[in-house]
Amino acid sequence: MATNKVLSLLESRKNLTGSAFGIAGLALTFAGLAGTYWPLVVAGLYGAGALIAPPERPPAPDFPDPAEQLGALRGDFATLRAYLTEVELPPAAAGRLTELDAVVEALLEPGWVRDPEHVHVLSRAVRQDIPEAVDSYVRTRWWTRVAPGSQPPERHLERQLTVLYDEVTAIAAALQDEEARRQQTHTHYLEERSGPREP
């Protein structure tokens, strides 16, 4: 532990810069410019170098990039799908879930989603929102059978799945707009590169 601290101190920017200034002080001494006060000159230049050196900066955390996150998310999506095959849902909710599933599957294909915010929305939908919506429906449905008269749980499930569907289709629409702009930009570039067309 102490050895690591000594090594980090020796390799620090302050020590390296101070040492470079101290060597310059020694050079002045050997050139005869420092006089009898050369130890003070060397020490002073070392201190000045240590003071002006840029501060140490800890390395930034290395988080996985969106592509790596999506790789793990695809596995979780497969797990979610396996869970959903075991749940009996009302027809309307099952239809909405099928639509939602298709959009999420398309977005999780490699090479499409790169925005960290989009990755976050997909991750939240797959790992939290969809399983929570379905599980709360199953639990509430059981209690509704025991104590009828409350609002049907399938209505809440349909509303929740609709909100989630709107969220993921917004991502798909943003990607579509991005690709359309990219295509238009490339068209303009090619037309400008080839020059004006003959009438």
CB-CB contact of 109 with 157 (8 Å) = no
CB-CB contact of 10 with 45 (8 Å) = no
User: Can you tell me the distance from the alpha carbon of 98 to that of 164, in angstroms, rounded to the nearest whole number?
Assistant: 12
For residue 34, give the DSSP letter. Answer: S
Residues 35 and 99 in one domain: no
User: Can you tell me the distance from the alpha carbon of 130 to that of 103, in angstroms, rounded to the nearest whole number?
Assistant: 13
User: Can you tell me the distance from the alpha carbon of 196 to that of 151, in angstroms, rounded to the nearest whole number?
Assistant: 67
Which pLDDT tens digit goes with each residue over 86-102? Answer: 999 999 999 999 999 99
The answer to the question of residue 57 being in a domain is no
The answer to the question of residue 90 being in a domain is yes
pLDDT at 9: 60
Counting the structural domains of the chain, the total is 2
Residues 114 and 186 in one domain: yes
Residues 72 and 155 in one domain: yes
Query: Which region holds residue 151: left if phi is over 0, alpha if psi is between -120 and 50, else beta?
Result: beta
The answer to the question of residue 156 being in a domain is yes
User: Can you tell me the distance from the alpha carbon of 49 to that of 31, in angstroms, rounded to the nearest whole number?
Assistant: 20
Name the nearest CA neighbour of 164 among 140, 133, 120, 139.
133
What does the pLDDT average to over 93-113?
94
CB-CB contact of 41 with 22 (8 Å) = no
pLDDT band at residue 45, thresholds of 50, 70 and 90?
A: confident
Which pLDDT tens digit goes with each residue over 138-152? Answer: 998 877 766 666 678
**Which uninterrupted H or E stretch holds 129?**
none
C-alpha atoms less than 13 angstroms from C-alpha of 81 in its C-beta half-sphere:
12
The answer to the question of residue 58 being in a domain is no
The answer to the question of residue 199 being in a domain is no
User: Can you tell me the distance from the alpha carbon of 122 to that of 120, in angstroms, rounded to the nearest whole number?
Assistant: 5
CB-CB contact of 89 with 158 (8 Å) = no
Which pLDDT tens digit goes with each residue over 154-196? Answer: 999 999 999 999 999 999 999 999 999 999 999 999 988 887 6
Residues 87 and 6 in one domain: no
Q: What percentage of residues in the chain have a pLDDT greater than 90?
A: 48
Q: Which domain holds residue 21?
A: 2-52
The answer to the question of residue 139 being in a domain is yes
Q: What percentage of residues in the chain have a pLDDT greater than 70?
A: 82
Residues 173 and 121 in one domain: yes
Residues 96 and 170 in one domain: yes
